[in-house]
Amino acid sequence: MVREWEVLMKKTQLILLVIVIFAMLVACGKETLPEVPESVLEPLKLHLEDNEMSPSDYILSQYEDKDIVFLGEYHRITHDLELVHELIPKLYEAGVYTLGIEFACASDQEKIDSLLNSDVYDQELANEILYNWGVYWGYEEYLDIYKITWELNQTLEADQKKFRIVGLDAKEDYSYFQTDEDWDNQELKAKAYAEGNRDIVMARTVMSEIVDKEEKALIYSGINHAITKFKQPFYDKETNEVIRFNNERMGNIIYDAIGERCMTIFLHSPWYGLDYEMVYPVDGVIDVLMKTHQQYPIGFDVVDSPFGNLIADTSEWATAYEDFKLSDYCDGYIFTKPISEYEGVSYQEGFINSKNLADATLNFPNTEIKQRKMSIATFKRLANSDANIKKRFKKFE
């Protein structure tokens, strides 16, 4: 009887040990929020209470002294696109008649203008414009930017100024890359990137299509293109030491040209940490604040506010900048919801079809994948995988 009891106890201990190990493994994959003293949170809370604004109202308020507002996203997050959709008619009412977007080629501007000013909405043309920018980017919410703008323009009288979408990006031709070795071929790279550096092309387009015409605009792009005063560090892959600081992002170039007439607003999303894993921005302080006080969705100033002094020790940039702060990175901030509640955009059925499948395969950037037999279903599966934000952000509370 004693022997049976000992065996039972050992089995129980083994089961408990397995449970503990499993729990530890699960916990290791989670990005837990830190303990933040109330003395840190209180001034942040008071600032929000004294300056409470919805995200759209916050953005619109910046045009009192700004001409160009850069709105920087992580990519493929549904509520970020919904904010842009909401802003289009509000921008027009506020006297801002232009939305510049990363997600269209500058060379397609005539097509964009034709789409937005036609009597009948042409979904195939909208698909073509987005396809020309990226065969892997067939998401409904990005396409809806055109539909919502067209609907706005339909409500305007013939003599009223129309709202305009400006495609900013360079056209890149990935058909020149069919094997991994092709990426190291300088002659092929020159052909693929014939229009030049993307950020330089985008900045040049902002200047010629917006600034030189003395227009105001919202510029919607990935955050890396939208930074203005911040200079991104480049690291040596072996030593992890800073080689140089990049001052040729779209926002950097525009800031050098027009100074404080432009600004960067960051749409809350993960940063990359020192080990290249995703982490909470500014060490999770904003996420803790919003979890405890729940003052969102909200837009607020970073510069000249308590938020500007938040330190980011876990950020990949912490080693490049001494006491790297949020105000070094952006001027304004939008928090819509906790990262754990983020959802991804939806794939547009028919974006890749029997007519464009062969061409889309040639222009798909991943050479390893396109060497396999690509199908319409493959493109859909890959796009949905990239947009699976729930899975990509599952480590966040």
Give whole-number Cα distances, 22 to 45, 59, 173, 366, in Å: 38, 45, 47, 35
Strands 98-105 and 164-169: parallel
How far apart, in whole angstroms, are the C-alpha atoms of residue 343 and residue 68?
28
Question: Is 374 part of any domain?
Answer: yes
Position 274 confidence tier, pLDDT thresholds 50, 70, 90? confident
Tell me the mean pLDDT in the region 252-263: 98
pLDDT number for residue 125: 98
pLDDT number for residue 351: 98
User: Residue 168: which residues within 8 A CB-CB, separation 6 or more?
Assistant: 100, 101, 102, 104, 106, 201, 202, 205, 206, 219, 221, 250
Mean confidence (pLDDT) of the chain:
92
Question: Is 169 part of any domain?
Answer: yes
pLDDT number for residue 276: 82
Tell me the mean pLDDT in the region 264-275: 95
Tell me the mean pLDDT in the region 145-163: 97
- DSSP readout, 180-214? GGGGG-HHHHHHHTTT--HHHHHHHHHIIIIITTT
Question: Is 88 part of any domain?
Answer: yes
Cis, peptide link before residue 34, omega less than 30° from 0: no
Percent pLDDT > 70 in the chain is: 93
| Structural domain range at position 372 | 38-392
Tell me the mean pLDDT in the region 57-70: 98
Asked whether the predicted pLDDT for residue 25 surpasses 70, the reply is no
Measured N-to-C along each axis, helices 123-133 and 140-154 cross at an angle, to the nearest 10 degrees, of: 130
Contact present, 303 and 290 (Cβ < 8 Å): no
Beta bridge pairs of residue 74 = none
For residue 105, what are its two tokens?
A: 């080629």
Question: Is 2 part of any domain?
Answer: no
Tell me the mean pLDDT in the region 19-25: 34
Tracing tokens 């009891």 back to the chain, one arrives at 5
Give pLDDT tens digits for 311-352.
999 998 888 998 899 999 999 999 999 999 999 999 999 999
Position 46 confidence tier, pLDDT thresholds 50, 70, 90? very high
Question: Is 11 part of any domain?
Answer: no
Question: Is 17 part of any domain?
Answer: no
How far apart, in whole angstroms, are the C-alpha atoms of residue 207 and residue 123?
29
For residue 293, what are its two tokens?
A: 């006080």
Going 187 to 193 to 195 to 201, the CA torsion angle's sign is negative
pLDDT number for residue 19: 30
Asked whether the predicted pLDDT for residue 279 surpasses 80, the reply is yes
Question: Is 18 part of any domain?
Answer: no
pLDDT number for residue 17: 32
User: Is 289 exposed, middle or buried, given 0-12, 13-18 or 19+ CB atoms closer than 10 A?
Assistant: buried
Position 4 confidence tier, pLDDT thresholds 50, 70, 90? very low
> Looking at the 3D structure of the chain, how many domains does it have?
1
Q: Which amino acid is at 96?
A: V
Question: Is 131 part of any domain?
Answer: yes
pLDDT number for residue 29: 61
Give pLDDT tens digits for 194-239.
999 999 999 999 999 999 999 999 999 999 999 999 999 988 878 8
